[in-house]
Structure 1
Amino acid sequence: MKSAFAAMIMVVSSIGWAAPPSENLVKSCLQARAVAPSVTIRNINVDEVFQEDDYANGFNAGYILKYEGTDMGYAERKPDQALIYSGKLYRLSKSIPIGNNGKAKPAAFNPMLAQWSLAKEGKHQYFCVGFNFDGLGQSGSFQNVHGGYLLNLKNRDLYFAVRDIRQ
């Protein structure tokens, strides 16, 4: 009986640890600015970007930047795309959708038009990439719809979100 109880406690605690990011953190990441006092954002300077063919596992890194000694960026290998963080690839197709994303599915984005940042809320830190779908909807309400990827820097879960940033 004690071992069953201990197993249940482990499951509950692991579920709590693997909880997705809060809505405030998601919206902060998508906008690359804090939308609540509980969230801090550090924008990543993208002035120096480089490329590397055959970066890893057949992926070509078309957009790599260094931030405080860490490689970050975007890589492609048809038909897959991935985020790069600290030399490892995180496939966009394997990202976990969070919240109401409408019918949007994880997909490629233009890294040159994206906003790159690091976000923190409490003990949780994320590598964030926010984008407005390659500049679509420069006028009208669609310009307020942003997508993004959030990589949990502790457990390395990659999340995908789409939100109307006005709400």
Structure 2
Amino acid sequence: MNHLLYLCCLLACQAAVAASPSQAIIQTCLKGNPTQKSPTATEVPTGEVYKEDNYLPGLEAVFLIEKNQMELGYIKGKSGDAILFNKKIFQLNEARVAAGPLMPHEFEPYTATWLLITNQESRFLCVSFNFEGIGQSGRFQSIRGGYLIDARKKSKTLYFATGDISKF
């Protein structure tokens, strides 16, 4: 019986680790620029963005993009800010830390870089940004944050990562 319980726990841990973004995906996201190398990063066009005051009851879509049957954006609500992706709302305060010492928090969606990052095993939506006040000038300019959502699966997990891109 103990062996069965141990095996179930081991399988659950493996599934959780397998669903997390790889180090290569995280680094590509934090760098925030499209690349042709593996993993490839393609910028999501943000030229046509709109706002919807009453996206859902109690939720305001302050940054909304609809492109190729994909809907994504930044939502503000009473329970906190969130990322919208494929009709799912991912609360920022519920993000799982994938890398770095900082905890998840809000960002400015209009200055963020929105990317789709793909390699052979996975595809992630990435929202990469610098930190207001510390990431815009001086020695902290290379510190970036990013949110990642698995775009291939019916993901329910939002990941958050921070890192110094000068060290990649």
TM-score bracket for the superposition, by shorter chain length = 0.7 to 0.9
Listed one character per residue, the Cα deviations across residues 4-63 of structure 1 (whole Å, up to 9, x for unaligned) are: 54x655543443232221221111112233679431111100000011122125210000
TM-score calculated relative to the size of structure 2: 0.85
Asked whether 1:76 is paired with 2:87, we answer no
Q: Structure 1's 65 and 15: CA in aligned 2 closer, same or farther, altered over 3 A?
A: same
In 1, Cα distance between equivalents of 2:7 and 2:38: 28
Given that residues 41 and 116 in structure 2 are in contact (C-alpha distance below 8 angstroms), is that contact kept between their aligned partners in structure 1? yes
Given that residues 34 and 43 in structure 2 are in contact (C-alpha distance below 8 angstroms), is that contact kept between their aligned partners in structure 1? no
Structure 1 vs Structure 2 CA RMSD: 2.4
Tell me by how many angstroms 1:70 deviates. Answer: 0.8
**Which residue number corresponds to residue 109 of structure 2?**
111
**Which residue number corresponds to residue 130 of structure 2?**
132
Listed one character per residue, the Cα deviations across residues 64-103 of structure 1 (whole Å, up to 9, x for unaligned) are: 01232111010001350000001121000000012232xx
**Which residue number corresponds to residue 52 of structure 1?**
52
**Which residue number corresponds to residue 40 of structure 1?**
40
Structure 1 unaligned runs (5+)? none
Identity of aligned residues (%): 31
Q: Structure 1's 79 and 13: CA in aligned 2 closer, same or farther, altered over 3 A?
A: closer
In 1, Cα distance between equivalents of 2:67 and 2:15: 27
Listed one character per residue, the Cα deviations across residues 95-137 of structure 1 (whole Å, up to 9, x for unaligned) are: 0012232xx2211110000000111233221111000023644
Given that residues 130 and 136 in structure 2 are in contact (C-alpha distance below 8 angstroms), is that contact kept between their aligned partners in structure 1? no
In 1, Cα distance between equivalents of 2:35 and 2:88: 29
SS at match of 1:18: helix
TM-score calculated relative to the size of structure 1: 0.85
2:48 maps to a residue whose letter is E
Report how many residues are paired: 163
In 2, Cα distance between equivalents of 1:23 and 1:68: 28
Q: Structure 1's 26 and 35: CA in aligned 2 closer, same or farther, altered over 3 A?
A: farther
